Structure 1
Amino acid sequence: MQDPKEILRKSKKILLVDWPHPGTPRALLRGGFIVFCYSPNGYTKPELVDEYPQDANQKNIFPPKNKDDGYLVFRPLKSAPDSIDIVNVYRPEEEHEKIINNQVLPLKAKYFWLQPPIRSSNTKSLADRHGLIFIEGVDIAEIATGLSL
C-alpha cells in the first residue's frame, strides 16, 4: 500500500461518500483540501463559516464544537464536480461497486479510500481491476490533521 500521508500531500480534491462524524469534513477543510460530499440527495460542498448561515437549510448546518471552530455548512451543488483526486467512503461493502461505477470512475479519481472501520478485500480487488489505488485502515481526518500541524 502506498503511504497515505504522501497520497494526501499530493491530492487536492476529496469526495466524501458519507462520513462517521462532522469532524471528518472539518479536518479536511482545515487542512486546505477542496471537499465535496455525496449522498442520495446529490452533491454538496462543505464550508466553515464564522456566523450562522441564514441562507442555508438547517439540516445542512452543524454547529461549532468550540468558539474557534465555525459552523460546518453543506451547500447543494447542481451537478457533480469535474474531477476528484480521492474518494473516501464510509459505506458498507455491498455499496462499493456502485460507488466506484457512479462516482469514482466518472470523476476520474485515482484513489479509493475506505474510512475505518470499513474494510474489504473484495473492494480492494475491484479497485485493482479499475486501476485505482486502494487505501484502508487509516482515518483520512487523522492524516489530514497531522499534515496541517
Structure 2
Amino acid sequence: MQENTIDPGDVLRKAKIVLLIDWPTPDLPRTLLEAGFMVFCYSPNGYTRAEIVVEYPHDVNQKNIFPPKNKEGFLVFRPLASSPPDIDIVNVYRPEQEHAKIVTSLLPAVGAKCIWLQPPVTSINTRDLAAKHKLIFIEGHDIAEIARQL
C-alpha cells in the first residue's frame, strides 16, 4: 500500500491496541495510554503491557518503572507470559536492518496489519516489504503527536 493513500489519523482512530518496539522517550507509551489505547511492548526479553499507576509498584522490576515527570502516575511495564492478542499497529523505533524480521516474524505472530515507523526512522526497503506482505505502512508521522490530536 502506498503511504500517500493512507491517513495516519484514520488508521490510529480505528486502532485499539498498539505494540511498541522501542520508543524515543517514555512520553510515547504514556501518551498512547492517556489517549485510551492498550499498549504493549516487545524487546528481546519478551512482551510487556504498559500501564500508568498512581503508587510506586513494588511487584515490578525497577528497570520497568518510569517515574512521572510533570505528569501523574508511574509508567509501568509488566511482563507477559506470551504474546498479546489482536495487535492493530506495530510502532517501530529500531534501525532498518531489524525491520525485515519484524515484518516477517513479529507482525504475523501478533496479527498486526500495520507497521508504523516512528520518526526519525524511515525506510524504502521496509515500505516495499510492507507492500509485499499487504500491510499498511506509515512513516514520517509521530504516533504520539497524532494520538494527542484525537
TM-score (norm 1): 0.96
- SS of 1:14 mapped into structure 2: strand
**For residue 118 of structure 1, what is the aligned residue in structure 2?**
121
Residues of 2 paired with 1:69 and 1:138: CA distance?
26
One-letter code aligned to 1:107: V
One-letter code aligned to 1:58: Q
Residues of 2 paired with 1:65 and 1:101: CA distance?
37
**For residue 6 of structure 1, what is the aligned residue in structure 2?**
10
**For residue 110 of structure 2, what is the aligned residue in structure 1?**
107
Q: CA deviation at 1:102?
A: 2.1
- Stretches of structure 1 that go unaligned for 5 or more consecutive residues are none
One-letter code aligned to 2:79: P
One-letter code aligned to 2:112: A
Given the alignment, which residue of 84, 94, 98 partners 2:97? 94
Residues of 2 paired with 1:134 and 1:115: CA distance?
11
One-letter code aligned to 2:88: D
Residues of 1 paired with 2:105 and 2:19: CA distance?
12
Residues of 1 paired with 2:58 and 2:111: CA distance?
35
Q: Does 1:50 align with 2:54?
A: yes
One-letter code aligned to 2:107: V
**For residue 31 of structure 1, what is the aligned residue in structure 2?**
35
Residues of 1 paired with 2:54 and 2:137: CA distance?
36
One-letter code aligned to 2:87: I
One-letter code aligned to 1:44: T
Q: CA deviation at 1:103?
A: 1.2
One-letter code aligned to 1:59: K
Q: CA deviation at 1:101?
A: 1.9
**For residue 22 of structure 1, what is the aligned residue in structure 2?**
26
One-letter code aligned to 1:75: R
Please list the CA deviations of residues 51-101 of structure 1 after superposition, one character each: whole Å capped at 9, or x if unmatched. 1111111110000012x4210000000000122100000000000010112
- Stretches of structure 2 that go unaligned for 5 or more consecutive residues are none
**What's the Cα RMSD here?**
0.8
Structure 1 runs, 4 residues or longer, greater than 6 Å off: none
